Amino acid sequence: SQTIHQWPATLVQPVGSPLSLECTVEGTSNPNLYWYRQAAGRGLQLLFYSVGIGQISSEVPQNLSASRPQDRQFILSSKKLLLSDSGFYLCAWTGFKYNEQFFGPGTRLTVL
Amino acid sequence: DQQVKQNSPSLSVQEGRISILNCDYTNSMFDYFLWYKKYPAEGPTFLISISSIKDKNEDGRFTVFLNKSAKHLSLHIVPSQPGDSAVYFCAAISPGNTPLVFGKGTRLSVIA
């Protein structure tokens, strides 16, 4: 069966510090991978998606970036965090059935 | 421009009664619709879906209705239970390798 992992589960970072969130998927190959953010009281905002290694599409301009160094690994990064980067970050994947998307447990990021 | 809209940010229902969550969409290319349920500090979990060739799909206490002419879908929960209290996201997808489009969510509170 397929599983998706995200770490860390929670993170508190000062403004201006770097960020690296990791997502890995097990039990599937060639997944589409997604990063979402849910800010307090708001919906799910798609940040990045990837259809393959090294292929990243950005949905919203911001100070975040994403990379996909391996087939089942998706990394969300920032060089300098802003207060507005606080939120709940979710990784998701879809397989060959494009209409089924599964989410990881999420990372709660607080920028102080 | 929001392609998927959930116009009610919150809904309160008494235990045992019916909960009806609504969702409207604008993109006529969407061919599959999904509902996700999200508890605080957790990733969304898939609840139920419907293809655009159907007008109803039922799974236990959950039924999704699709009205293509009105570009409207709804999720019915009968009977509502306190454990159903969560944020519900409507999502839609069009054919091909495109991401799901999510609504902003509706927070359902089931009162005992």
Q: Is the confidence at residue B43, as pLDDT, over 70?
A: yes
- What whole-number distance in Å separates Cα of residue B85 and Cα of residue A21? 29
In this complex, the residue of B32, B41, B89 whose CB is nearest that of residue A106 is: B41
- Rounded to a whole number of angstroms, the distance from the CA of B97 to the nearest CA of chain A is 7
Closest CA to B38 of A75, A46, A38: A38
B-side interface with A, Cβ within 8 Å? Answer: 6, 32, 34, 36, 41-46, 49, 89, 91, 93, 95-100, 102-105
Q: What is the pLDDT of residues A24-63, one digit of tens each?
A: 999 888 899 999 998 776 788 999 999 999 999 998 767 8
Given pLDDT bands bounded at 50, 70 and 90, which one contains residue B19?
very high
Q: What is the pLDDT of residues B51-94, one digit of tens each?
A: 999 999 999 999 999 999 999 999 999 999 999 999 999 999 98
Go through A18-55 and write b for each residue having 16 or more CB atoms within 10 A of its CB, e for each that does not: ebebebbbeebeebbbbbbbbeeeebbbbbbbbbeeee
